[in-house]
Amino acid sequence: MQSCCAVLCLFAFLPIASAATIVSQTNPPGMPPSTGVGADSSESVAISWTMNSSYKNVNIAAYLVGSNVPDSGTAYLTTRIGPSTTTSAQVASSPITFPVFGPVWQTLFSGLTLGPGTYYIVLSSTEAVGGGWSFAPTPLDVTAPGAQIGKSLYGVNLPSNAYAPADPYGPTYSNENFVFAVQGDPVNAAAVPEPAYSILVLIACGVIAKRRRR
């Protein structure tokens, strides 16, 4: 009985994980979807964020648009961009299919574990039409403590460069703020038990101990 009580009491105080918004940049409620900045054979698009904490189970999504046919591309997650960038700076990459018209929320990466630092999301395509990244002219930004959203960027696809994160990048127009969201579970977050459940388990432990004394 004592071992059963000990297990129940320990279980009552296990941490309960819940995904948190690390950064998000969206259109304010009621604002219609915007058009997108193209990711095609002549141009790549990117955005960055910085955070000072570690997260696990990280999911990254972007609000994408497309043409009247599905077009393919690639999403990259890196720790730097620009000329001289190599795959050593790459955290992950994934093939993507831009939606027919849109905009549509699309998951780019999931299940990542990321430490403190600056990260870049790069979208590219080798197709002439490709797709696009929807933007918010006056964005609603949400950031976790210690996190910050960087500038939206576009890169010129150089014919001699086969790696999109190494393109030369510059800022987009001031109203072209790419819509995206990054969520995850804080690493080493303090355990927060559910009060009602914890009380029930402690009562059960007390009943078991009382019966044993009889």
Q: Residue 143: CB partners within 8 Å, gap ≥ 6?
A: 21, 22, 23, 24, 149
4 is a domain residue: no
Is the pLDDT score of 161 beyond 50? yes
pTM here? 0.79
CATH number, domain at 39? 2.60.120
170 is a domain residue: yes
Looking at residue 184, its amino acid is G
89 is a domain residue: yes
Is the pLDDT score of 153 beyond 90? yes
Q: Which tens digit of pLDDT belongs to each residue from 99-138?
A: 988 899 999 999 999 999 999 999 999 888 889 999 999 9
138 is a domain residue: yes
Q: Residue 149: CB partners within 8 Å, gap ≥ 6?
A: 23, 25, 47, 48, 49, 141, 143
Per the structure, how many domains does the chain have?
1
Residue 18's pLDDT is: 55
Range of the domain at 42: 18-189
